[in-house]
Amino acid sequence: MEGKPLPEVRIDQLTGLRTILSPARADRPFDFGGVATEPDPKAAENCPFCEGREDRTPPESWADRPGGGDPETPGWRVRAVPNLYPALAQSEAEDPSTASAAASREGLTATADPLRASSRGREPDLFHASTATGFHEVIINTPRHVTSLGELDDAELAAAVAGWRTRMSEYAERSPYVQLIVNEGHEAGASLEHSHAQLYALGFVPAAIARERERFASYNQHTMGGDLLAEIASEEVRRQERLVAIDDEAALVCPWASRSPFELRVIPRRESARFEEDKGGAAMIHTAMRSLAKLFGGSAELNLWIRTAPRGAEQFHWHVDIAPRLTIKAGFELGTGVDINVYPPEQAASDLRECL
């Protein structure tokens, strides 16, 4: 270990989860993978997401058509359709004024948790299951057959992000949590290469989001009004070590406790709880995608997800996380829930700055 920095345990400020930063393990004999292959010409010929093939998807639920026009016709910039293979059973619209707050709880306070019943003197049903209801939608980012957000021009990406916000707003008041993701590349989970996002309107708040919500609320209380992510962003800008880029709307950083090499986070400079109610960030998402593509000599396989406030949360700050698929989780990570990152975020940020 002589000459190499000692491994560090870092705690993510937003989640409280630990990452082990172990640069010495980068000396192991492997190269980073995850650079997407060239688009398949046959895939483009048969792609149901391309303009002019609207009849090959389920009936559209929404479309951005600047010039007007009928549904299921060309002329759109962004288009949303129900997922043909939904992960959720479609539910009827919920009235937020009468919805139970229990749907937003997590952990032992969740009504569906079997251990909650035992705390009230009832026999727990350790094998209880309920129907996974909600909405699962595909948002096609562009009529052109491109495989990465980084291939869109500024106007196209801005239109795509605006479409994400429109669709998230559609479900935000009737679902405890709305999750939007982008998978790029086969190893990242994409089944079709045409650039698209997926929206999940969930009937519960996932534990990871609930934990983040609680940490925002706790920090706000302990600091008498402080915004956790705003203060993290301010400190990242001051320190410069993990700052990749900054503009009038957002900062781009490699998070302090990055769970994997070249993980990125887009943080809006204006304090805003809900992504769907804000306007900024599209340009910085574009910067992130292009810097990764330049660094790796092509579009990297990656996952992107948006963290927005759960319904009813008073303290939160939206952000966009981007994780290139460069390494795999092995037994330690799966067994402990603690990630090992072999590439320091400070070095990753430096490498990415050189690509701007």
Given a cut of 50, whether residue 178 has pLDDT beyond it is yes
123 and 250 both lie in a single domain: no
- Of the residues 131, 152, 170, which one is the last residue of a structural domain? 131
Residue 56 lies in a domain: no
Q: Which pLDDT does position 120 carry in this prediction?
A: 58
240 and 114 both lie in a single domain: no
Average pLDDT over residues 165-171: 98
pLDDT tens, position by position, 319-344 = 999 999 999 999 999 999 999 999 99
Given a cut of 70, whether residue 269 has pLDDT beyond it is yes
Q: Which two tokens stand for residue 12?
A: 């993510």
Residue 105 lies in a domain: yes
pLDDT tens, position by position, 291-313 = 999 999 998 999 999 999 999 99
Q: Which pLDDT does position 140 carry in this prediction?
A: 98
Residue 76 lies in a domain: no
Q: Which two tokens stand for residue 33?
A: 């993978």
Q: Which pLDDT does position 286 carry in this prediction?
A: 97
Q: Which pLDDT does position 99 carry in this prediction?
A: 42
- Name residue 177's beta-bridge partners: 202
More confident residue, 64 or 33: 64
Q: Which two tokens stand for residue 269?
A: 């400079």
Number of folded domains that form the chain: 2
More confident residue, 119 or 282: 282
Average pLDDT over residues 200-216: 96
Q: Which pLDDT does position 80 carry in this prediction?
A: 98
- The CA distance from 141 to 196, in Å, is 5
Give the global pTM: 0.89
Pairing of strands 133-140, 89-90: parallel
Residue 305 lies in a domain: yes
pLDDT tens, position by position, 19-63 = 988 876 655 433 455 565 566 777 888 999 999 999 999 999 999
340 and 214 both lie in a single domain: yes
Given a cut of 50, whether residue 227 has pLDDT beyond it is yes
pLDDT tens, position by position, 88-112 = 988 754 443 344 444 445 544 455 6
Residue 153 lies in a domain: no
334 and 227 both lie in a single domain: yes
- For 17, list phi and psi in degrees, rounded to 5: -80, 150
Residues in the chain: 356
CATH code: domain of residue 16: 3.30.428.10
Q: Which pLDDT does position 100 carry in this prediction?
A: 41
Q: What is the DSSP letter of 103?
A: G
- Of the residues 131, 150, 180, which one is the last residue of a structural domain? 131
Residue 148 lies in a domain: no
Residue 54 lies in a domain: no
Q: Which pLDDT does position 108 carry in this prediction?
A: 42
117 and 213 both lie in a single domain: no
171 in the Ramachandran plot: left (φ > 0), alpha (ψ -120 to 50) or beta? alpha
Domain span at 17? 8-36+205-353
Residue 66 lies in a domain: no
Average pLDDT over residues 189-218: 95
Average pLDDT over residues 4-25: 86
115 and 223 both lie in a single domain: no
